[in-house]
Each structure stands twice: as structure tokens, then as C-alpha cells.
Amino acid sequence: MTDRYIVGDLVAEFLQRMDVSTVFGIVSVHNIPMLDAIGRRNAIRFITARGEYGGGHMADAYARSSGELGVLVTSTGPGAANAVPALVEAQFAGTPMLHLTGQTATSDIDQQRGPVHDVPGQTAMLEAVSKAAFRVRSAETALGTLLKAVTLALTAPMGPVSVEIPIDIQRSAIPRPETLDHLVRPAPAPVEPDAGSVAALADRLRAAARPMLWVGNGAKFAEPAIRRLMAMGVPVITSWNGRGAVREDDDMSLGATLQLPETQTVLATVDLLIVAGCRLRGHETGDLSIPLPEPRVQIDVDPAANGRTYGCDLFVHGDAGLTLNLLADTVGPLRIDPAFAGEIATAKSAGRAAYLAKFGPYTEMASAVRAALPEHGRFVRDVTLAHSTWGHRAFDVHGPRENIYPVGAAIGPGLAMGIGAALGAGGRKTVCMSGDGGFAMNIAELWTAADERADVAFLVMNDQGFGVIKHIQDALYEGRHHFADPTPADFEALAKSTRMPYRRIDTIDDLEDALGAAIAHDGPAMVEVDMAKIGPYPRYYVPPPYAKG
């Protein structure tokens, strides 16, 4: 053990000061000083992924599940490039994440001399897929750069921030900064709205008889404020990423059911829509084709959100939770239509029943998974037919950390996200639902799950191909399934090779029992659903403008 203190040691100690307990990544020539320091200090758990792609998605899901800063360490060049999909997803999801990558020696950077892993323009690549990207320019500026990066990652709207540290700087000896003795994780203050905007919003709410609150990711952790308005008679609807802000089994919550006809019918009667911390994304609104109630008020910490998708009659620049609390303080008694709450509950129950009735042999699947998953367990999904249908609209989420999925709609991250979510769940159980096609894209991380004893039940929906893609091909391309039928893996053999309990089912009647046993197992387990034997899955919804007509 050496007494020499280098920038690699600074990185390891800094992460501890940021309350980081777990880091994901792969050791490589351009990050050894940082990882050697983490290993020597033995205070942070390092999860060795099989690829930077998987490690990045684990770090993202870990942060969403735990509330901790997600941290990914990669090598430079190809290693950093392999992390790009995970950074893209973390940006979509608003996940606070720190990506630490190496760089070639400072004398070689941008010289195109061809040192190992050299990628001219790497910073620009990372800037394109991160909230920001920085390069440490000297050993003396390392601490300041790291602190700036973490502060930015944790500042709403949150996101991933990348930091390059050249290998010679990582190895550089420095005096240990005394600042570390009292350094704490930044806690950026919420953006406070101006009093005039809150007063104007209160005036609109007092005048409304059938107001509704639309909650997105920016308000997902504002339950106390949301509950205050719900107690006044204001019902809630959420975006997909805002789910769990309040329990979805509450009669005053419509959940993420915008696309159901029953929800749209009741929305047509709303006379004020308050949108809190939500982008009203095209992906969820039929590329902005679904009409939303007017007038609309939008609350967001990002001033650029004003008018970016749907327009609004009033924009309030501020933190969603803080603004909603101030609104509840200000507004006083409301004149809510006494029939409104009953109509919300009826629309929810009728809409869900009508929707699930279309699923034939899969009708009871959502209730079976919900019954098997313990309270506040994590429900992780890859993009697959079950996720894109009942996984979004007909599965009750009970808390804001339970709903983890690829917000950017990529196929493949689910397996790794399931591992990260399980490791960050604090002992709570995790179900990770994937299709056979998406599962295969990240299959090497099964061995990471086995190594780390991740407490995750992998639920593999095997329809022998890319089911979502084939449904779109049926709808728009006369059923030509070009390139959508890759040979599925032998999942039983995979489970055996990683020493996971395994069960295959060919009827949904057996799902709750099989999944319950997998969840009860201490460590990873796998349940394969043989969709070919159960029957065809109902047609996947193709939103406008992609649908025919």
C-alpha cells in the first residue's frame, strides 16, 4: 500500500463524499487509477458489468430505484462509445448520473497520433448524449470539475453528466484537498415560482368546476403536495414516467391511461388542466394528435418547456412540488362539480375492464404479476408487447421508484435495468419483464446478475421474434415480417448455465405461482412464458400519424 495520493484517490474519496455506495463499469487501461483507488479503499461496491452498454443501464436503473446518484465508469474511446445508449436513456428519463471515462494522455489528446483508444472529438460525442460533458484539464482542477458535474446532474431537470479524466492526470500525485473533509453531496435549491404566477394559477383553479392535475417525471416525488390538491377534489392523471406519484389504485388517480377512450371522454369535460413537471411527449400523445383540455397551465423548472409540445394559457416557471404546495396554500375552497369524482372512478374502472377484455388468454396477466410482486417491489420492463400495452396502462404502480422502463423506447436495456433496479431496491423484490428479442441484446449481463446475486425475477415473454415490430409490419407493411424473426435463445439452458431457478409456463393460469416462486428465491431466477402455446397477442396499438387512414 502506497502513501502517495493521486487523482485516482481523489475520485474514489469524492464519490464517497457524494454518498455513492455502488459504482458500475468495466476496468480498462484508461481507468485503472480510479478503480484501483476504489478497490484499495474498499468502501464502494463495484459491479463489474460485461459491457459498458449494460453497465450504463444498470447505473441508470440503480439511481431510479435507490435515489442515489448513478455512477458509471468506462474506458475511453470504444468504451465511452459503448456507453452512449445508456446515456441517451438516462437523458430521456431525467436520471441523475455521473459518467466517468478516461482519456488518452494530455499530450496526445486531439493530436490524431493513434494512441490506444484515441477518439478525436470524444467530448463532443458525450456532449451530444449527456446533459453536459467536461474534461479535467489538470490535476489541480479535478475536484472542482467533479463537483460541478455532480451538481449539474442533480439540478432539475436532472440528467447524466460525463467527465473525461486523462490517464496521466489520473496518475498525478497531488496533496489531498482539505475540502474533502467537509464536502457533502450538493442539494440544489428548488426553483421558486414568482408569487404573481401562483396567484394567477389559483384564480384559474378557483374558477374551475372540473379541474385535473397532470403529473410528469418532474413531479413524481411531490406526493404530499399532490395529495393536498386531491383532497380538495382535483383528480390526477400521469405520464408514463410520472407514474407512482400517487398510488394508482386510488379512485382519484387515472394513472397513465390517456390513450383509453373512457379517459378521453372524461378529459373532454375538464375545464382546467394543470400540467406539473411533464413534457406531454409525442410518444404518449399520438405525436400531439390527442386533444387535451383547455385552458391549460404548465408548471416546469425548464423555461424552454413553455410551448414545446402543447401550448398553454399560463406558464409557471418553478419546481412542481413547491409550486403545487404554494397553490394549495393560496387557493382556498374549490367549487368542484360533485359528480366529477364518481365519473373519474367509473372511467378508470370501465376503461381498464374494456381494455383488458381485448387481451384474450392474456387478460389476467396484469393482475397475476401484480399479485405476485410484493408491495413496493420494482416493476422493470423492456420494450415488449406486454410492456407497451397493459404494462403502461393496466398495472397498478404504488410508488415513484417502482416503475422502471426505457423511456426512450429502446429495445434491449431491460435485462440490465432489472439488475440495476434490484441492486438499488434496498431488499425489495424486482420483476424484470422482457421479450425474447430484447433479452438477447444484453444477454451477457445474466452472468453479472449471477455474480452479484441480484434479487431479480426475469420474466421472459417468448413470442419468437420482435413482437412489437411484427405487429407494426402487420398494420403498415401487409404482414411482411422482414428481419423480425431472430432465433430465440434456449432460456432453460441460459438459466442452467448461470445456476438460476427456471420454469417455463404455457398458460397464464400458472403465472402467479411460477413468478411468486421466482420472486421468493434469494437471487436471480427466470420464468419463460411460451406465447406460442398460450396464443397470439392482441394487435399492438399504432399511434397516429403512423396508422393507416
Q: Residue 371 maps to which CATH number? A: 3.40.50.970
Q: Are residues 253 and 125 in the same domain?
A: no
334 & 373 share domain: no
The alpha-helical segments, DSSP class H, found in 45-110 are 52-66, 78-82, 84-93
User: What is the domain-level CATH number for residue 311?
Assistant: 3.40.50.1220
What pLDDT is attached to residue 511?
A: 98
- pLDDT band per the 50, 70, 90 thresholds, residue 44: very high
Cell of residue 169, nine digits: 492526470
- The per-residue pLDDT for range 52-102, each reduced to its tens digit, is 999 999 999 999 999 999 999 999 999 999 999 999 999 999 999 999 999
Contact status, residue 164 vs residue 134, Cβ threshold 8 Å: yes
466 confidence band (pLDDT: 50, 70, 90): confident
pLDDT at 541: 52
Which of 315, 350, 385 is the C-terminal boundary of a domain? 350
Residue 30 lies in a domain: yes
pLDDT tens, residue by residue, 110-123: 877 777 777 888 99
* Number of Cβ atoms within 10 Å of the Cβ of 304: 8
Number of other residues whose CB lies within 10 A of the CB of residue 29? 12
Q: How confident is the model at residue 546 (pLDDT cuts 50, 70, 90)?
A: very low
Is 225 found in the same domain as 175? no
Q: Which residues, at least 6 apart from 409, have a Cβ–Cβ distance to it below 8 Å? A: 283, 383
Which range among 143-152, 356-365, 438-447, 463-472 shows the weakest confidence by mean pLDDT?
463-472
Position 393 in a domain = yes
Output the pLDDT for position 350: 96
Spatial distance between the Cα atoms of 545 and 542, rounded to a whole number of angstroms: 9
- With a pLDDT cut of 90, the percent of the chain lying above it is 89
Tell me the pLDDT band of 470, cut-offs 50, 70 and 90.
confident
Domain with 402 in it: 364-534
Does a structural domain hold residue 549?
A: no
CA end-to-end distance (rounded Å), the chain: 71
Same structural domain, 112 and 151: yes
The closest of 131, 303, 307, 300 to 222, measured between CA atoms, is 300
- Under the banding of pLDDT at 50, 70 and 90, the label for residue 474 is confident
Both 472 and 501 in one domain: the answer is: yes
C-alpha dist (Å) from residue 484 to 473, 489, 534:
9, 15, 20
Query: Is 294 part of a structural domain of the chain?
Result: yes
Quick one: which of 353, 369, 347 has its CA closest to 254?
Answer: 347
The DSSP H or E segment spanning 151 is helix 142-154
Do 37 and 48 meet the contact criterion of CB atoms below 8 Å apart? no
Is 162 inside any structural domain? yes
For 420-429, what is each residue's pLDDT tens digit? Answer: 999 999 999 9
Check whether residue 345 and residue 444 sit in a common domain: no
Distance CA 306, CA 300 (A): 8
Confidence of residue 549 (pLDDT cuts 50, 70, 90): very low
Same domain membership, residue 305 and residue 430: no
Beta strands in 80-127 (DSSP E): 97-103
Q: What is the largest CA-CA distance in the chain?
A: 74
3-state secondary structure of 448: helix
Domain total of the chain: 3
542 within some domain: no
pLDDT digits (tens, 9 = 90+) for 119-168: 888 999 999 999 999 999 999 999 999 999 999 999 999 999 999 999 99
Residue 346 and residue 369 in one domain: no
Q: Looking at the structure, do residues 178 and 200 belong to the same domain, yes or no?
A: no
Question: Which H helix or E strand runs over 145?
Answer: helix 142-154
What CA–CA distances, in Å, run from 304 to 199, 237, 283?
Answer: 22, 23, 19
Task: Taking residues 191-213, report their average pLDDT.
Answer: 98
Domain presence at residue 546: no
Helix (H, G, I), strand (E, B) or coil at 543: coil
More confident position, 105 or 343:
343
Q: What average pLDDT score do residues 381-397 get?
A: 94
**Cα 311 versus chain centre, distance:** 26
pLDDT tens figures, 304-316: 999 999 999 999 9
- Last residue of a domain, which of 291, 323, 350? 350
> What integer pLDDT is reported at residue 1 of this predicted model?
46
Whether 513 is covered by a domain: the verdict is yes
pLDDT of residue 105 exceeding 90, the answer is: no
Q: Do 208 and 132 share a structural domain? A: no
Give the whole-angstrom CA distance, residue 382 versus residue 435. Answer: 7
pLDDT averaged over every residue in the chain: 94
Confidence of residue 547 (pLDDT cuts 50, 70, 90): very low
Check whether residue 440 and residue 465 sit in a common domain.
yes
Residue after which a domain boundary falls, among 316, 350, 384: 350
**pLDDT, position 495:** 97
Q: 465-478: b or e for each residue (b if 16 or more CB lie within 10 Å)? A: bbbbbbbbbebeee
Contact 234, 336 (CB under 8 A): yes
Q: What is the rounded average pLDDT of the residues 443-455? A: 97
Residues 15 and 138 placed together within one structural domain of the fold: yes
Q: 528 — phi, psi (to 5°)?
A: -105, 130
